[in-house]
Amino acid sequence: MFGRKKKLEVSEDLELLSGDGEEQEEAGRQSLEYPEKSPLDEWEEDEEEAGMEEKRKLFGSWKKKERKEKSAKEKTPLTPAQKKKRRKRIIIGAIAAFVLVFMVLPGLFAPDVLPVVTVSEASLGTVQQVVEGSGTVQSEEIRTYFSPVSATVESFGLQVGDTVEAGETLLTYDAAELDELYRQAELTGSAAAYGYQDSIGKDNENVAEYNRSTAALEIIDRQLDEEDDNLDHLNGRVREYTGYQGDSSAKLASLKEQQAQAQAAIADLKEKQAALETAQKALEAYEASLAETTENTGASGSDTTGNSDVEDSGAGKEEADIKRAEYLTAVAVAEDAVEKAAPAAAEAQAKLPGLEKSIQEEQKHYNEVIVKLDEYQGRLEDSQENKQKLEASKAEEEGIQSSTDASILSQAARSELAANKNLSDLNAQMTKDDITEGKEGIKAAFSGVVTNVSAVSGGPAAKGAELFTVASNEDVVVEMSITKYDLEKLQEGQTAAITLAGHEYTGTVTSLSRIAQTNAKGTPVITAEIKIDNPDENIYLGLEATVTVNGQEAKDVLVVPTECINSGQDGSFCYVVQEDGVLVKKNVETGLESDDYVEIKSGLEFGDRVVSGGITAATQEGTRVTAVEG
């Protein structure tokens, strides 16, 4: 319908099927013009042409070969059968051309006749629901006044239908009678107070002493617990430092033993050195005496007997050599002993200063441990003595607690005394309060209309007796019945316009009944209360008023006319006319609905052309239509 004209070409593949009769095939491939197409149709035909072009390229070489073979055949004279077959093909081509010219082309050039539909654009707007109805004006506050005292009514002149103002005195009692009743109430209130105070005073002393001893016992128990913890701590410290004392004593003994061993090694070396020195001196003394003897013998030459000294010297020398060897052996043994004892003595000499220092330090530590041990042992003795004192105090307080507990009133007894006194006080105070209220007279709590009268001026009024009833004409509502179809549109807090006896008022929905009742027509209805926000002197209780409630409202939302919405098995839907004129079906989610417009939550876009009329049974999704703004 829209776009440019396009030629339709008979496929060149007909050449492959026809063989001869190229003249007729050329006539079949003549160009034909169709009416204008849409952009989508043009795109599809362009794709088709591109495909045909590829096909031409693929078959191009084959066609050239085919033409060469045909040219070769044309040079050969045709037989009668071939000529007959050729004429037949020419006739068929002519018939095809006739059909195209006189039957197909007229249909192609005929203009399309499209269905016409009315449309509306989806736009932003406001949907306001309205509920209209009528109801009866009722007072929301009705109060029946009762007599606070038993006394004589002094003045009262109201009748049914009279109006009263808030704070106005409507009824008074006999003042002298009220004064006498007040004095009696005071005497009654003080009658039981003295005995109660005496009993409670004594019991309070016992309770105070019991509580004191109980508190003291709690403190003593805590102190005993603390003292037990302290004893455990001190015993632990005594055991700990006793262990430290033993460890230090053992370490000190070990150090002293090492010191003694070192000193013994040094003393042993000195002893062996002294032995060596003694051996050396003995050897030296022997050698000196031997030398002196040798000199004396050499000077004399011979003895008195005339024997030769040579013989004596031979025997003496042998004995001297043996003696000298013994001295030498003693020196060697002493030297060996000194050599063996020297390393141990040297090591002991090196360790001895450190041992002496360690002994001094450990002795100091030992003394400190002894001091701390003595301190903890002293504190342990003090703690044990303090615990004994606490235990004695505990026993004394337990005796006081036991004796006072026996004298304390039970909770039930105290409760009974308190209840009796409170009851007396309460009765007396209530009577005085009622009398005080009666002296002030009965005043109107709010402005309104008298709907019932029971009191009589000059007559008696019993306490609690009904006097009269007043219905407020300031706190008023309109009670309106609504069906289930309007119920979903109402919410508490919505505003309303009310018309009563020719006067206009504003109102607010304050209550929706939770129980449906059947009206005269048998329809279940719900009672809605609409409070009149600006009542005046023109309000009449019991009259009928018309009400228009401003229901739920959605602002700046996507809306369409109500007639655009259709219902199906899958929910609500709309028909939308696309840019190319094709009709499409779109499922939608709706929101608020008024008489004119429906809120669209999803399914449509701003500016969509939505069908509002003109849809027939023959119009289906995918149909091309003509859209007319409704």
pLDDT per position as a tens digit, 568-582: 888 999 999 999 999
Q: Which of 468, 464, 456 is nearest to 152 (CA)?
A: 456
Exposure string of 49-63, with b = 16+ CB inside 10 Å and e = fewer, is: eeeeeeeeeeeeeee
Model pLDDT, residue 445: 92
53 three-class SS = helix
Residues in the chain, total: 630
Bridge partners (DSSP) of residue 164 are 448
In 3D space, the residue among 569, 561, 572, 566 whose CA is nearest the CA of residue 608 turns out to be 561
Q: In which band, very low, low, confident or very high, does the pLDDT at 150 lie, cut at 50, 70 and 90?
A: very high
What pLDDT, in 10s, does the model give residues 602-611? 999 999 999 9
| Domain residue limits, the chain | 7-112, 123-140+475-629, 195-298+314-407
Q: Which two tokens stand for residue 424?
A: 């007396």
Between CA 147 and CA 154, with CA 149 as vertex, the angle to 5 degrees is: 75
Confidence of residue 417 (pLDDT cuts 50, 70, 90): confident
The mean pLDDT of 266-289, rounded to a whole number, is 89
The token duo for 280 is: 């050396």
pLDDT confidence of 545, banded at 50, 70, 90?
very high
> Under a CB-based contact definition with an 8 Å cutoff, are residues 352 and 266 in contact?
yes
Supply the pLDDT for residue 43: 43
Write out 241-287 in H/E/C secondary structure. Answer: HHHHHHHHHHHHHHHHHHHHHHHHHHHHHHHHHHHHHHHHHHHHHHH
Query: Angle, to 10 degrees, between the axis of helix 175-190 and the axis of helix 411-440?
Result: 170
C-alpha triplet 617, 622, 624: angle, nearest 5° = 85
pLDDT digits over 29-62, tens only? Answer: 343 333 444 444 544 455 555 555 544 544 444 4
pLDDT above 70 coverage of the chain, percent:
79
Q: What pLDDT does residue 588 have?
A: 95
Comparing 97-101, 177-181, 554-558, the range with the smallest average pLDDT is 97-101
Give the CA distances from residue 522 to residues 512, 513, 544, in Å, rounded to whole numbers and listed in that order.
20, 18, 21
Provide the phi-psi class of 37: left if phi over 0, else alpha when psi is between -120 and 50, else beta: beta
CA–CA separation, 283 and 323 (whole Å): 9
| pLDDT of res. 7 | 31
Tell me if residue 131 falls in helix, strand or coil: strand
Q: What is the mean pLDDT of residues 20-36?
A: 39
SS3 596: coil
Instruction: Yes or no: say if 507 and 482 are a contact pair by the CB < 8 Å rule.
Output: no
Residue 308 CB burial class (10 angstroms; 0-12, 13-18, ≥19): exposed
Residues 6+ apart with CB under 8 A from 493: 508, 509
Give the integer Cα–Cα distance in Å for 292 and 284: 12
What's the rounded Cα separation, in Å, for the pair 360 and 259?
Answer: 12
Q: Is the Cα dihedral 59, 64, 70, 72 positive or negative?
A: negative
- Identify which has the larger pLDDT, 143 or 161: 143
Report percent pLDDT > 90 for the chain: 43
Name the least confident of 65-74, 433-442, 526-535.
65-74
Tell me the pLDDT band of 194, cut-offs 50, 70 and 90.
confident
Q: Contact, 465 vs 147, CB < 8 A?
A: yes
Radius of gyration of the chain (CA): 69
Amino acid at 138: Q
Take residue 56 and report the two structure tokens written for it: 């031409």
In order, the DSSP letters of 327-380 are: HHHHHHHHHHHHHHHHHHHHHHHHHHHHHHHHHHHHHHHHHHHHHHHHHHHHHH
Contact 620, 109 (CB under 8 A): no
Kind plus residue range of the DSSP H or E element containing 119: strand 116-121
Question: What does residue 237 show for φ and ψ, rounded to 5 degrees?
Answer: -70, -40
Q: Is residue 629 exposed (0-12), middle (13-18) or buried (19+ Cβ within 10 Å)?
A: exposed
Q: Is the dihedral angle over the CA atoms 567, 569, 573, 575 positive or is it negative?
A: negative
Query: 128, 129, 136: which is closest to 547 by C-alpha?
Result: 136
Which carries the bigger pLDDT value, residue 282 or residue 109? Answer: 282
Mean pLDDT of 285-291: 86
In this structure, the number of other CB atoms found within 10 A of the CB of residue 547 comes to 24
pTM for the whole thing? 0.42
State how far the Cα of 382 lies from the Cα of 379, in Å rounded to an integer. Answer: 5
Q: What is the pLDDT of residue 584?
A: 94
For 191, counting Cβ atoms within 10 Å of its Cβ (0-12 exposed, 13-18 middle, 19+ buried), the class is exposed
> 10 Å Cβ neighbour count for 89?
18
d(Cα 550, Cα 471) in Å, to the nearest integer?
A: 28
Distance of CA 124 to the CA centre of its chain: 38
Place 405 in a pLDDT band, splitting at 50, 70 and 90: confident
Q: Is the per-residue pLDDT at 557 higher than 90? A: yes
Q: Is a pLDDT exceeding 50 seen at residue 302?
A: no
Per-residue confidence band for 321, with pLDDT thresholds at 50, 70 and 90? confident
> Do residues 551 and 509 lie in contact, with contact meaning Cβ atoms separated by under 8 Å?
no
pLDDT of residue 14: 30
Question: What does the pLDDT average to over 336-360?
Answer: 88
* Structure token pair of residue 94: 């002519």
Q: In the CATH scheme, what is the homologous superfamily, with its name and number, of domain 123-140+475-629?
A: Efflux pump adaptor protein, beta barrel domain (2.40.30.170)
CA–CA separation, 143 and 470 (whole Å):
5
Strand partners, 137: 478
Average model confidence (pLDDT) for the chain? Answer: 81
Residue 25 above 60 pLDDT?
no
CA distance 153 to 468: 13
pLDDT of residue 63: 45
Query: Which is more confidently placed, 161 or 66?
Result: 161
Query: Which residue has better confidence, 78 or 597?
Result: 597
Q: Is the pLDDT of residue 305 over 60?
A: no
Cβ contact 145:467 at 8 Å? yes
Query: 421 pLDDT band (50/70/90 cuts)?
Result: confident
Exposed, middle or buried, 245 (CB in 10 Å: 0-12/13-18/19+)?
middle
Mean pLDDT in residue range 378-383 = 92
pLDDT at 474 over 60: yes
Mean pLDDT of 258-280: 89
Check residue 101 and report its DSSP letter: I
In 486-618, DSSP assigns E strands to 495-500, 503-512, 517-518, 524-532, 544-561, 566-568, 571-577, 583-587, 589-593, 597-602, 609-613
State the pLDDT at residue 53. Answer: 53
Give residue 36's pLDDT. 44
